[in-house]
Amino acid sequence: MDEISLFFSAAITLATVVLLYRLLFHQRNSRSLPLPPGPKPWPTVGNLPQIGGAPLHSQLAAMSGEYGPLMYLRFGSIDVVVAASAAIAEQFLKIRDTNFLSRPPNAGAKYIAYNYQDMVFAPYGPRWRLLRKISAVHLFSSKALEDNRCVREEEVGVLVQALARPGEAPATLGSLLTVCTANALGRTMIGRRVFGDGSGGGDPMSDQFKAMVEQVMILSGKFNPGNFFPSLEWLDLLGVAREMKKVHKWFDDLLSKILEEHRTLLASGGEHQDLLSTLLSTRDHAEDENEKLNDTEIKALLLNMFTAGTDTSASTVEWALAELIRHPKMMYQAQQELDSVVGRDRVVSDLDLPKLGYLQAVVKETFRLHPPTPLSLPRMAAESCEINGYHIPKGSTLLVDVWAISRDPKEWTCPLEFRPDRFLPGGEKAHVDVKGNDFGVIPFGAGRRICVGMSMGLRMVQMLTASLVHSFDWALPSGLSPGELNMDEAFGLTLRRAQPLVAHPRPRLSPGVYQ
């Protein structure tokens, strides 16, 4: 017992000396350049007690109204800077982008994403560039998207057919959209569906896979003390790391099995036209060892694609359809455009999308008002720097509040209203895109670490939204009027609806289209 007391006394004394040194050193070296404004932190825990309850993105948006669009907070022992306006986001993600290319340490990357060997959380460097290059060329290039166009159209067709089947029960759109997007990705990446036949039914393996994806997103959004007090990480106070290790093992077992199946198939002379087969073949024939991915990196890349590429697209389409149901005149306008371009004797094709100006405006407005990741994935300052006359400490975590930026009244007219017309010719934002060039709406991020799957995600969201609007009229259950539809947000890493969208699909095309 005496030894334990002695240990803690020594630890407290050492911590006090280090704290005083840091305070004195900080005062001497940063007096001429102040930290950004922000709420006064509490001792030890910093500003953590001030951000409990409501979703973090909305709390930070409210704080920025008081302290300004560039804020400094302290989360435990971690320095945090928040960008909550388009101009400030541009400073970080464009002008100073090279200083904010790596991610801060976090438990999710360590325990789920193969200890930072994936593409999303990997440190900026040669391996990250290789992972991004492989993804960009083999999965998200214009050629790859065109090669896999039929896969996307077929999976959307399966969803449309399932919704057209006679039945009294309304459809729960979120889960069906998740099945569709995951199966389109699955066929592209590993050559097979991951959710049963794609119609909403599933087999035990598919159900487990869906549960694993959902668990990753839930755990990634959970409060984990170890992220803010690194010295306490080993204690795993809330058991988050334990749960992360469990879901990682589920995924690793599944992905290892898929790898072995593909390796056996290739060894027997079989051919598989999917990303995984390409990765394995490229690795076996690459002359440069630096251009080869090991098994862990391949599994980490597949994990990224499944977790990041399904929930975000499905949630965005669900929000888009909910907004159109709430605004019947806009739904009518979108359907009239689709009838004019596509007609009522066939379903929407990927090739129709460039001709659907109003539909594209609906998708842009959905990304603005309901960004799939309301807080961009955190970045870390490699070196201290100056932003707008303020000192940004080395090692500080950068959070870009995408949700706050896209609702900024200084940037948008009537920012809380759903107005697709703002993106049409003659509208206030007619030339704005969502591809990271206009910082007022950056659902995929911006700069060098912009989402590599942006092109596929954007096309999938457009295709699904167009197909659901074109193929069906939508009625809310139990006589609910459009104005009564709940539009509250759920807390999480992605911007999900608090209440899943449930609606009756009424076929509006020629009967033979649904067969």
Rounded to 5 degrees, φ, ψ at 398 are -100, 125
Assign 168 to helix, strand or coil: coil
Element (H, E) at 488: none
Rounded to 5 degrees, φ, ψ at 349 are -110, 155
What are the beta bridge partners of residue 398?
Answer: 81, 379
Element (H, E) at 256: helix 240-267
The CA-based angle 388-390-393, given to 5 degrees, is 125
Tokens of 196: 């049963």
Q: Provide the 10 A C-beta neighbour count for residue 9.
A: 10
Extended beta strands in 56-202, E state: 70-75, 78-83, 171-172
Residue that has been written with the tokens 């024939």 in this structure: 285
Q: Mark out the alpha helices in 190-239 (DSSP H runs).
A: 204-220, 225-228
451 annotated as belonging to a binding site for a ligand: yes
> 4-13 long-range CB contacts below 8 Å, 24 or more apart?
none
Tokens of 339: 């009838």
Exposure of 17 by Cβ count < 10 A (0-12 exposed, 13-18 middle, 19+ buried)? exposed
Tokens of 10: 């020594």
Q: How far apart are CA 326 and CA 316, in angstroms?
A: 15
Dihedral Cα 51, 54, 55, 56, nearest 10 deg: -20
Extended beta strands in 292-426, E state: 379-380, 385-387, 390-392, 397-400
Q: Can you spell out the DSSP letters for 11-30?
A: HHHHHHHHHHHHHHHHHHHH
The CA-based angle 418-423-429, given to 5 degrees, is 105
Of the chain, the end-to-end C-alpha distance in Å amounts to 76
Exposure of 167 by Cβ count < 10 A (0-12 exposed, 13-18 middle, 19+ buried)? exposed
Residue numbers belonging to the annotated binding site for heme = 451
Residue numbers belonging to the annotated binding site = 451
